[in-house]
Chains A and B, each alone.
Chain A
């Protein structure tokens, strides 16, 4: 059988027509072009972030910095606001991700218990929220009434559990062999013990997916900072600081001028320009994610497949 398929493959290779070759060449060329289009903007911003600021204004920076420098990075990390904002970004990412993963997994586990009397009720309560939401202003008013405005927890509570996460964790647990889950019961472990010591370790692949989605969501958020805590600089995040710079360059509409944003930042130095600071912050705000996601690819692809079918 095996030799037969090898023979078939060989014959296939021999039979490869010139049309096939042309198609392959076009296809590979297209893929390389696609990668260039995807990556070039990043690499360009990366080059600008390592290039001397005054020199960048002259233009002509593409993939390699002309005058290498670390001044731009030194500048933003000396800037107390940005340093603190990075700290808040990390904090909300860690706290938000841990809580989301643990709570979502716990609820999802109860939903896999066929004998649980409230299973239907809880499921429907969650599923319904996929169809509607109160909208921006009612949610804003709710946060105000809950005294969450000006608080760190406004970043955590509203997005604690997502229905999509529930669905992918639930279907993963349902796919586990029944016998393993039952083994806890025989040992006399309660539901919570079973969940913590048996289910959690066995679901790490799907929890990695949920952690990635949740971590990316938390790290990338700027809108809730803008909406709830824009007047509280102590709760600002990296993404929001970048958004403010972006908005500023939008209104002044001249990417090269030092006015506007630098005057808004304390300790203005002539060695940096808004353009370079923006590029540097863009890199700092995206590098943590770029470092992580390729390693979780196998997991999130699987998660998307489950979610795509069931969701």
Chain B
């Protein structure tokens, strides 16, 4: 008796399962056009974005390109241990963190300041011209930007000319800026700001348009001036966007960029310009030391993943708290 009911239950469960599978299959058949429109790209995604993860196994091997996967020698965490004892890797890690820190802090401060100032301009045509011009450097490649920056910083470039003209340096004593190692971070920060300052204001300006004009009017009646309105209405009005973007950007702390460092870096400033991405490139492609290179890249990705995940969750929670 008991046995029977149990069997019936199992049979019913199985039937329910098949019927659910049946509905799924039927729906899938019904929606086959949608499937054909999307699944080829999921296969593309799998090949180009997921398969490379398999390459991480190489970080745990003493990789020999000539051998097959099963013939490799597995050495565990040796490459990672080597990395963290390697003075060069530690320096590269420092450069990565410092440069992304520079980007984060100064990128934010300058963009918010410019957005605030742009917001104060009442002549719409003038404002639009400034905005269009300020987006320009964002659209050119880093190769073009590096070429322009090199020209500007060269001994007969405009910066040296201005310094001579102002009397800070003598003619003939022009400075080779890219040849001074510790100046690289300054040059990197200034270049990055020059390139993306205008672009980064877009989000803040958009947030400012959502502020209710009645707030400004009310403040005016209370006798608030320009600065008071900026500090007590505009800034609090974009606070939520600023916080969310700040948190998201902390998720990209390991991403200090690759192109500016690679293109502006040279033998003289290498101690300050080389970051993890360049380290990976030099070991992997130039020296074909795949294992060590992948270990460094994997370390970067894993730390990034944790940071991004935490940042995203935090941002989401902040976003929710904004609702209450």
Which A residues have a C-beta under 8 Å from some C-beta of B?
8, 12, 17, 19-20, 23-24, 27-28, 30-31, 34-35, 37-42, 44-45, 48, 59, 62, 103, 106-107, 109-111, 113, 115-118, 121-122, 125-126, 129-142, 146, 157-158, 160-161, 190-192, 195, 216, 219-223, 227, 239, 242-243, 246, 249-251, 253, 255, 278-279, 281-282, 285-286, 289-290, 293-294, 297, 301, 304-305, 308
Other-chain residue from A41, A110, A286 in contact with B38 (beta carbon distance below 8 A): A110
A250 and B117 contacting across the interface, CB-CB below 8 Å: no
CA gap between A161 and B37 in the complex, in Å: 13
Chain A residue at smallest Cβ distance from B227: A23
Shortest 6 CB-CB contacts between residues of A and residues of B:
A134-B52, A138-B55, A220-B141, A135-B297, A138-B52, A137-B284
CA gap between A142 and B290 in the complex, in Å: 13
A140 and B135 contacting across the interface, CB-CB below 8 Å: no
Interface flags, B297-312, vs A, CB<8A=1, else 0: 1101100110011000
Min CB distance B318 to A, Å, is: 13
Min CB distance A286 to B, Å, is: 5
Let me know if B219 is at the binding interface, CB within 8 A.
Answer: no
A142 and B55 contacting across the interface, CB-CB below 8 Å: yes
Let me know if B224 is at the binding interface, CB within 8 A.
Answer: no
Q: Which residues of B contact A286 (CB under 8 A)?
A: 140-141, 144
Let me know if B170 is at the binding interface, CB within 8 A.
Answer: no
Known: A106-B37, A136-B280, A142-B51. A294 touches B132 (CB 8 A): yes
Q: Which residues of B contact A294 (CB under 8 A)?
A: 132
- B 263-281 contacts with A by CB, 8 A: 263, 266-267, 277, 280-281
Known: A138-B58, A192-B37. A132 touches B304 (CB 8 A): yes
A125 and B45 contacting across the interface, CB-CB below 8 Å: yes
Q: Which residues of A contact B72 (CB under 8 A)?
A: none
Q: Is the interface of B mostly helix, strand, loop or mixed?
A: helix
Which B residues have a C-beta under 8 Å from some C-beta of A?
24, 27-28, 31, 33-39, 41-42, 44-56, 58, 114, 117-118, 120-121, 126, 129-137, 139-144, 146-152, 154-156, 158, 179, 194, 198, 202-203, 206, 217, 220, 225-227, 241, 245, 258-259, 263, 266-267, 277, 280-281, 284-285, 290, 293-294, 297-298, 300-301, 304-305, 308-309
CA gap between A190 and B129 in the complex, in Å: 45
Q: Which residues of B contact A40 (CB under 8 A)?
A: 158
Min CB distance B288 to A, Å, is: 10
Chain A residue at smallest Cβ distance from B40: A103
Other-chain residue from A62, A107, A223 in contact with B259 (beta carbon distance below 8 A): A223
B141 and A131 contacting across the interface, CB-CB below 8 Å: no
Chain A residue at smallest Cβ distance from B130: A31
